[in-house]
């Protein structure tokens, strides 16, 4: 999402988790065993497909309404600003989210957790940032869930974020957590991030964003690069 000039030294290298984090067992299987090879991008990868405002509607940012009903759980409003390393807003970029339902289950065939599915919650949404780089989603707070990485392993409540630039080759992925989660010390995914950067993954409770008697508000700003960069999952 940001032009990298050859020879330029990134100053956010200490923010991102390594591809191989043995405590997070699936990285042992998917981390590259050899140095990655940089493939040049052709005009097709750089210019398409078109990601524009006309393809995203306001309804795409409301995850609580689906199939003629409303999702179960605590309604929340997630909002924030996408910024570059100089603090400037990044406008008109595509932000996608996906998450488990209030019971801690994804709508995915591989998720066989015995908690119930919600027929009115598919768990995915998308929005375009406005001219000031701001986004807003209405959703429900996801539940924690077991994930069999180790004995009695539970993932803290979290929401996945994906950000696109002007093409699919310009993609960043991260996770957002909620304040004061007791599972933080036990989660190898969260702890794979360098300690000094972990707080950048935790949203802030925002009373000003709440809707009285309807939804709580949480703020999560995303910084694409620089010393204050939001930790991102390295793409292998």
CATH number at residue 174: 2.60.130.10
* 135 part of the active site: no
Torsion of CA 221, 14, 181, 84, to 10 degrees: 0
pLDDT at site 49 = 59
Evaluate whether residue 19 is within a structural domain.
Answer: no
Active-site residue, from 75, 105, 155, 225: 155
Evaluate whether residue 34 is within a structural domain.
Answer: no
Active-site residue, from 79, 83, 158, 200: 158
Range of the domain at 170: 50-223
Evaluate whether residue 132 is within a structural domain.
Answer: yes
Count helices and strands in the chain by DSSP H and E runs: 3, 13
Evaluate whether residue 234 is within a structural domain.
Answer: no
pLDDT at site 8 = 33
* 200 part of the active site: no
Find out whether 61 and 136 touch, Cβ atoms under 8 Å. yes
Evaluate whether residue 76 is within a structural domain.
Answer: yes
Evaluate whether residue 117 is within a structural domain.
Answer: yes
Residue 121: pLDDT band with limits 50, 70, 90: very high
Evaluate whether residue 233 is within a structural domain.
Answer: no
* 158 part of the active site: yes
Q: How many domains does the chain have?
A: 1
Instruction: Give CB contacts under 8 A, 24+ apart, made by 68-71.
Output: 68/120, 69/119, 69/120, 70/120, 71/101, 71/102, 71/118, 71/120, 71/121, 71/139, 71/140
* 108 part of the active site: no
- Read off the pLDDT of residues 164-175 as tens digits, 9 standing for 90 and up: 876 666 788 999
Active-site residue, from 136, 160, 171, 198: 160
Residue 192: pLDDT over 60: yes
Evaluate whether residue 231 is within a structural domain.
Answer: no
pLDDT at site 48 = 62
Q: Please tell me the pTM assigned to this model.
A: 0.88
* 106 part of the active site: yes
Active-site residue, from 24, 135, 145, 177: 145
Residue 6: pLDDT over 70: no
Active-site residue, from 16, 83, 105, 106: 106
């Amino acid at each position: 999402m940001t032009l990298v000039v050859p020879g330029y030294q990134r100053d956010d290298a200490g923010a991102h988790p390594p591809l191989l984090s043995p405590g997070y067992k699936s990285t042992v299987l998917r981390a590259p065993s050899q140095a990655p090879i940089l493939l040049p991008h052709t005009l097709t990868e750089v210019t398409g497909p078109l990601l524009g405002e006309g393809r995203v509607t306001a309804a795409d940012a409301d995850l609580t309404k689906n199939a003629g009903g409303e999702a179960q759980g605590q309604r929340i409003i997630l909002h924030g600003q996408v910024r570059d390393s100089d603090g400037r807003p990044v406008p008109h970029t595509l932000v996608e989210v996906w998450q488990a339902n209030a019971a801690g289950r994804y709508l995915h065939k591989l998720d066989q957790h015995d908690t119930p599915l919600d027929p009115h919650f598919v768990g995915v949404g998308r929005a375009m940032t406005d001219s000031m780089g701001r986004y807003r989603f209405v959703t429900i707070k996801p539940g924690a869930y077991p994930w069999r990485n180790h004995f009695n392993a539970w993932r803290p409540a979290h929401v996945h974020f994906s950000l696109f630039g002007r093409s699919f080759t310009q993609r960043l992925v991260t996770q957002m957590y909620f304040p004061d989660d007791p599972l933080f010390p036990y989660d190898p995914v969260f702890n794979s991030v360098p300690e000094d950067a972990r707080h950048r993954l935790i949203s802030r409770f925002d009373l000003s964003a709440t809707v009285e008697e309807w939804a709580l508000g949480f703020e999560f700003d995303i910084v694409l690069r620089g010393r204050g960069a939001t930790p991102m999952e390295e793409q292998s």
